[in-house]
Amino acid sequence: MGALVDIRDISKVYNPGENEVRALDHVTVRIEEGEYVAIIGQSGSGKSTLMNILGCLDVPTEGKYFLHGNDVSELDDNELSDIRNQEIGFVFQGFNLIANLTAFENVELPLIYRGVSRSKRRKLSETALEKVGLANRMDHKPSEMSGGQQQRVAIARAIAQAPPIILADEPTGNLDSHSTWEIMDILETLHKEGRTVIVITHNNEIASRAERTIKIMDGRIESDSKEPEGEMPDDGNLGGRQSEGKESDGKESEKLYSITSIGAEPSTEKPLENESDNLSKKASKQPPKPMSEELRRFLAGEMTESELENGADNKTDNKATKTTEGMNHESKEE
């Protein structure tokens, strides 16, 4: 497999000069297609800055970043936004859901801007929500769901696009241990289906699930090792808080099926090229619809919902609402 991510001697410097802060200090990382990598470090280690650069949310002060062989280290904001929309599925600890949209609409929204037809994006969105155990929560808004359920919506939104890279920043930070197990199983399934999965975490147990662990400290790579996949224990505070048992609806989470086998028993075999891949490949050939810069920034984690709703940004949120409302009047596309 070829190199998907190739970071060469990058540095990120804030406040250049006498009081400069080097968040990253001459970091070199190469990640191959299909790898499952955990980047681990404590607060202030530089892992979040590295994630921002990996996810094309920021650019390095020095050095080069090649994604799919293309230099993205000097692209402008619009070009970076296009890459994020097409290449990377983000999972943030803070959910980044739009409050007045349902779970289904939150998952579907990025697909609209990718130019995916109505019938195909519905299929992708439903499949993604079923995969994370939210088949019975599609019509619920974020305020009607628990924190764990909201994070599952965010994960469904990331995987619905079937991007080549899944970039997860503390994906289980707001989940109990039972949900943590399920979410990590989802990430492993995506990896086995050919996705490149990069998890940013401070938790050694979470990192142990990856095939490769990169430890970062003081802005530098401390170690980079490939180890056998670890096993997550049944108990313990893996997700950031003690297990609280079942979700708020009193039902156990639904079984996690392969993306190609909704309604069938889970398979232990590596699936063939799945239908979501085919739909995504076809959709990616269609020209994306224009997206406002504010909404791009929100979906990429650069802007909070309150910032999106305040002042001039309020028109963007209204536009998103009108877009989803307009789905009901849209003619069916085959």
Which domains, ranges and CATH numbers included, belong to the chain?
Answer: 34-56+76-229+273-329 (3.40.50.300)
Spatial strand order of the sheet with 70-71 comes to 21-32, 3-14, 62-67, 70-71
pLDDT of 224 strictly over 90: yes
pLDDT of 254 strictly over 80: no
pLDDT of 267 strictly over 70: no
Q: What is the pLDDT of residue 140?
A: 97
**Which whole number is the average pLDDT over 275-282?**
41
What separation in angstroms does the CA of 298 have from each of 17, 18, 45, 110, 157? Answer: 32, 34, 25, 11, 13
**Which whole number is the average pLDDT over 179-189?**
84
Q: What is the pLDDT of residue 18?
A: 81
Query: Which of 22, 89, 93, 20 is CA-nearest to residue 54?
Result: 89
What separation in angstroms does the CA of 192 have from each of 186, 197, 271? Answer: 10, 10, 8
Q: What is the DSSP string of 162-212?
A: --SEEEEESTTTTB-HHHHHHHHHHHHHHHHTT-EEEEEES-HHHHTTSSE
- What tens digit of pLDDT does each residue of 134-183 get? 999 999 999 999 878 888 899 899 988 888 899 999 888 877 788 788 88
Split at pLDDT 50, 70, 90, the class of 247 is very low
Q: Contact 245/51 with Cβ under 8 angstroms? A: no
pLDDT of 249 strictly over 80: no
- What tens digit of pLDDT does each residue of 87-114 get? 899 988 778 899 999 999 999 998 998 8
pLDDT of 186 strictly over 50: yes
- Tracing tokens 């307009």 back to the chain, one arrives at 326
- Tracing tokens 């490149």 back to the chain, one arrives at 196
